[in-house]
Amino acid sequence: MPKPVIWITRTLSDATLARARRDYEVIWDPADTPGSADDIIAMSAKVDGMIPCHSEHFSADVVAQLDRRLKIVANHSVGVDHCDLPALRAKGITVTNTPGVLSDATAELAMMLMLGAARHAVEGDRTVRSGAWDFWSPAFLVGKQVTGARLGIVGMGGVGRAFARKARGFDMEIHYHNRSRLSPKDEADAIYHDNLDDLLEVSDFLSLHCPATPDTTGLLNAKRLAQMPKGCVVVNTARGALVDEDALLAAIKSGHVGAAGLDCFVTEPGGNPAFAQHENIMMMPHAGSGTVTTRNAMGFKALDNLDAFFRGDQPPDQL
Ligand code: DGY
């Protein structure tokens, strides 16, 4: 039996590439540039499956032009807002993602951004690095204490729950909003708000962990930011589309939002240049899942899904 042919669009971990090459005929370009619409369409005639990342966009237009040879899109991501799922399904293409395995790594990064934003890490780093640290002052770099503060979490899926577990280590009072209330075991000591607006009113710190969908686009807008306590800290490691960036910028400028930690932006790559003017905004270039352990696990999960599909079984993470 010839091996199925797959396209791995980006440079995945060494372990993932080695396993993929063992079991598949792999097309992979070490140049590691995102696949364009034309690349995706052209490649669909040459491969049976693909492992794309969120950098490859399967819009309805692209999907309409895909060759019938392509049978499965095994995403190397948990978020699938880069895929038009109804269009892919209508074309008979199986789609999978990588849930669960990146929750802790992303929650770690959210914790770093929350702490870094609250404690002026960007300004502090710049002060030491530039040689501008001339004397110690009790009034310099005075931040907002995380320990014991009220934390609002929007979206209590895998990442939200992992973030809550870590925040408990800081004795935070955890509040959350989710489409549905968690089981008592998963909820632990967290306080459920069935209304997002109620959650915002108590959130001295707010961390976003919900998917980007038409319903959540622009969820954190000017009206909602105004509902939050003055001096609050906003963290986003989910998707840029959740935040109205102009509204966040205005709230940072007015001081209503004290600081922000952002790993996701409306425009990626690139981010929002206006944010760079504000050292109380700590930023990362969409690196939430970026640990060796997690990137290996994501690659292996994508391959597990392909393996199941080509064996004739239902992939474990089929959407
Ligand atoms: C995900 O898996 O959705 C992360 O954002 C990386 O793509």
Domain boundaries, the chain: 5-101+292-311, 103-283
3-state SS assignment for residue 63: helix
Alpha carbon distance 249, 281 (integer Å): 10
Task: Reply yes or no on whether 126 is catalytic.
Answer: no
Measured in Å, residue 53 CA sits from the centre of ligand 1 at: 8
Residues 6+ apart with CB under 8 A from 17: 8, 11, 26, 28, 299
Measured in Å, residue 54 CA sits from the centre of ligand 1 at: 6
Beta strands of 194-294 (E only): which ranges? 205-208, 232-236, 257-262, 281-283
Sequence letter at residue 303: L
3-state SS assignment for residue 254: helix
Q: pLDDT tier at 18 (50, 70, 90 boundaries)?
A: very high
Task: Reply yes or no on whether 256 is catalytic.
Answer: no
Exposure b/e, 84-116, CB count within 10 A at least 16 = b: beebbeeeebbbbbbbbbbbbbbbbbbbbbbbb
Task: Tell me what percent of the residues of the chain surpass a pLDDT of 70.
Answer: 100
Mean pLDDT computed over 291-307: 98
pTM: 0.95
Alpha carbon distance 230, 76 (integer Å): 38
Alpha carbon distance 108, 114 (integer Å): 10
103-283: CATH architecture: 3-Layer(aba) Sandwich (3.40)
**Atom 2, ligand 1: which residue's CA is nearest?**
77
Measured in Å, residue 268 CA sits from the centre of ligand 1 at: 13
Kindly list the protein residues whose Cβ atom lies closer than 6 A to any atom of ligand 1.
53-54, 77-79, 102, 288-289
Closest ligand 1 atom to 77 CA: 2
**Atom 7, ligand 1: which residue's CA is nearest?**
77
Closest ligand 1 atom to 97 CA: 2
Set 239, 278, 279, 295: catalytic member: 239
Q: What is the pLDDT of residues 92-147, one digit of tens each?
A: 999 999 999 999 999 999 999 999 999 999 999 999 999 999 999 999 999 999 99
CB 233 within 8 A of CB 211: no
> Which pair of tokens denotes residue 159?
């990442």
Q: What is the mean pLDDT of the chain?
A: 97
Could you tell me the fold of the domain covering 5-101+292-311? Rossmann fold (3.40.50)
- For 260, list phi and psi in degrees, rounded to 5: -145, 150
Helix (H) / strand (E) element for 26: namely: strand 25-28
The residue behind tokens 């309409």 is 64
Mean pLDDT computed over 12-29: 98
Alpha carbon distance 194, 185 (integer Å): 18
Alpha carbon distance 107, 119 (integer Å): 18
With the most atoms of ligand 1 within 8 angstroms of its CB, the residue from 51, 57, 73, 78 to mutate is 78
Helical axes 292-311 vs 103-118, angle rounded to 10°: 150
Q: What is the pLDDT of residue 1?
A: 83
Q: What is the pLDDT of residues 157-171, one digit of tens each?
A: 999 999 999 999 999
5-101+292-311 and 103-283 have identical folds: yes
| Closest C-alpha to 109, from 301, 282, 303 | 282
Mean pLDDT computed over 143-155: 98
